Amino acid sequence: MELWFTEKHTENVLFSIKVDKQLYSGQSDFQRIDVFESKEFGRFLTLDGFMMLTEKDEFIYHEMIVHVPMAVYPDAKKVLVIGGGDGGAVRELVRYSTIEQIDLVEIDKQVVDVCKKFLPQTAARLEDPRVSIFYEDGLRFIRSRENEYDLIIVDSTDPFGPGEGLFTREFYGNCFKALTDTGIMVNQHESPFYPVDAVAMQRAHKRVTASFPISRVYQAHIPTYPSGHWLFGFASKKLHPITDFDPEAWEKLKLKTDYYNTKIHIGAFALPTYVRKMLEDVE
């Protein structure tokens, strides 16, 4: 007997991974949570049947969502992660000894508990003493914050279900308010490839651009996300992702990474023509 996990990437495209066994399945107050074990991708986490991360390719997503902004703003001391209950973004952040405080706001405690048990590869550093976990809706949490964070990382699910509010103009406006004068917000920005994802990506970009004076987009190749072509948003009050980037300063930190490097940093902001056009259409 063969067991397969299948996610519908569009009405006409399926993505499947052969599963060795299912390690966990449960329904939280917010979503269905599953963890599978596979030969090709190791363990992987899905929420409501959508791929969140696999052990094999999560390094790409987590390195790119953390090291790009940190290399532009290595003095960031207080960081907020919204979503990200798997702990992958926190794992990369705690490698910077200069960061003093990391607040993680995850709506679903069950995601954190499940990841601690089944996905230690991402969740192992959630116990770092600089990390505080708040089990709250990120949209509500951010409303009362002002001039507090140097960096906000929005590591959310897609713009439906519990993650919907994290793609609204109100949310981005409140992130702007919650950031310090040189603050940066980075968010997962969906994919430009399939029309259904591209529409969500353009909507998010339009709203971010309306809230921040600097709003750029960068890309990475993430094999298990729809089409494999994924975007991140870099929004900032003052710092520019390329002109304020000091590659030598980051290299001096001697952090070992498997995807991010200072050349990828610059290259990731060079977007294909069709993607640039989609972004320009809503700017």
Q: Write out the residues near ligand SAM by the rule CB under 6 A.
A: 47, 52-53, 61, 82-86, 105-108, 111, 137-139, 155-157, 162-163, 165-166, 188
Q: Angle at CA 278, nearest 5°, toward 247 and 264? A: 20
- Residue whose pair of structure tokens reads 């770092």 in the numeric block: 128
Give me the least distance between CB of 243 and ligand SAM, in Å please. Answer: 28
Closest approach of ligand SAM to the CB of residue 268, in Å: 17
Backbone angles phi, psi at 141, to 5 degrees: -55, -40
Do residues 234 and 68 make contact, with C-beta atoms less than 8 angstroms apart?
A: yes
> CA dist 7 to 15, 232, 239, 271, Å?
5, 22, 38, 27
- Nearest residue to 147 (alpha-carbon basis) of 179, 185, 102: 179
> In the complex, which residue's CB is closest to ligand SAM?
83
Q: Cβ closer to ligand SAM: 106 or 197?
A: 106
How far apart are the C-alpha atoms of 116 and 125, rounded to whole Å? 10
Instruction: List beta partners, residue 231.
Output: 219
In terms of CB distance, is 156 or 215 closer to ligand SAM? 156
Comparing CB distances to ligand SAM, the nearer of 201 and 245 is: 201
Q: How far is CA 238 from CA 80, 142, 199, 242, 283, in A?
A: 18, 20, 28, 12, 18
Which CB sits closer to ligand SAM, 86 or 197?
Answer: 86
The distance of closest approach from Cβ of residue 181 to ligand SAM in the complex, given in angstroms and rounded to an integer, is 25
Catalytic residue among 57, 137, 150, 155: 155
Q: How far is CA 186 from CA 7, 19, 48, 81, 212, in A?
A: 26, 33, 24, 10, 12
Min dist. Cβ of residue 95 to ligand SAM (A)? 18
CA distance 229 to 88: 19
Name the residue nearer to ligand SAM (CB basis): 86 or 245.
86
The residue to which tokens 């107050």 are assigned = 29
Residue 28 C-beta: closest distance to ligand SAM, Å: 8
Q: Is 181 a catalytic residue?
A: no
Q: Which residues are catalytic?
A: 155
